[in-house]
Structure 1
Amino acid sequence: MNDERLAQLPPKLQQVVKALGSAPKVLKTEMLLEFAKKMPSLPEGMEAKLEQVHECTTPFFVHAELEGPAVHLFFDAPKEAPTVRAFAGMLAEGLEGESPEAVLSVPEDFYALARLEEVVTPLRLRGLQAVLARIKRQVREALSA
């Protein structure tokens, strides 16, 4: 695992990436299913703030906002879409409550450190990149507001 690239990630996301990256392929799918179960529930009234990530093959929605020095993430995806729910669970676990600077510093291809290409198709990985890009754009917009 590339330690220099790993060091660019916020500590909680580092833990997620290390765990997935060091897991054998057979366990990685199970771990992703666990992350899917960890996707946070959407608070009431948040639906109107969500932005659809059209690059995802499954309807997937995201919203990032700042509260003081912390980024808060909100996601919505169908219950029958475990892959995108896993992405949401990973990003929530790894980035929730982080500083805007920490979120903005995450490389677009951070998932390569977790070796997700072993179990996730390139199309889905592009969707994950698009989700991260939306989060970063929303954080930048919140900073400039």
Structure 2
Amino acid sequence: MTINEKQDEIIDNFDLLDELQEKMRYVVDFGKKLPSMPEEYQTEDNLIRGCQSKVWLHSEMRGDKVHFEADSEREAQISRGLVSLLIWILSDEKAEDVANADLYFIERIGLKSFVSSRRSGGLASMIHQMKQFATQQAAKNQTAA
């Protein structure tokens, strides 16, 4: 699946949900599927700044694809769900694709309307960190070519 196909699937799933509680539950349930990240990656350097709770993001290249892993404090269910959605959409895609991805699903599902402004800032920080890593890797790939 491409980045856009994954986003479209999330949009389709959200379209089936009417109430805010259902949408929040969807995000939380998505986070429950996120595997725990090895403790060795839960470092200060991997901490996402601007999040309401502690969220760690580890980024690495696997071949020509960007791979992301994340974790959060257990009580941070919404943050865990948000980073899980982003990982599902962006992880294991080419660096150039991640760097240039238009994450239109956020607006289409109205995500910012049902997360607090602080969580919205954390979401922006997650996206920034993922895209920044991908942009750096894409630049390295172009230099090496």
TM-score by length of 1: 0.80
One-letter identity of the residue aligned with 1:71: V
Q: Gapped runs of 5+ residues in structure 2? A: 141-145
Which is bigger in relative contact order (C-alpha 8 A, separation at least 6)? 1
The match for 2:109 among 92, 111, 114 is 114
Tell me the amino acid that sits aligned with residue 137 of structure 1: Q
SS at match of 1:76: strand
2:6 matched residue in structure 1: 12
Matched, 1:40 2:35: yes
Identity %: 22
1:137 equivalent in alignment to 2:119: no
Work out the CA distance in 2 between the residues paired with 1:28 and 1:42. 25
Alignment partner, residue 4 of structure 1: none
Q: Does residue 139 of structure 2 align to residue 125 of structure 1?
A: no
Q: Secondary structure of 2:58's partner?
A: strand
Separation in 1, partners of 2:113, 2:42: 33
Cα RMSD, aligned residues only: 2.4
Count of residues in correspondence between the two structures? 138
- Does the Cα contact within 8 Å between 2:60 and 2:68 map onto a contact in 1? yes
Instruction: Please say which structure displays the higher CA radius of gyration.
Output: 2
> Unaligned stretches of 5+ in structure 1?
1-7
CA contact (8 A) 1:52 1:60 kept: yes
Give the residue type in structure 1 aligned to 2:72: A
Query: TM-score, length-normalised on structure 2?
Result: 0.80
CA-CA distance at 1:79 after TM superposition: 0.5
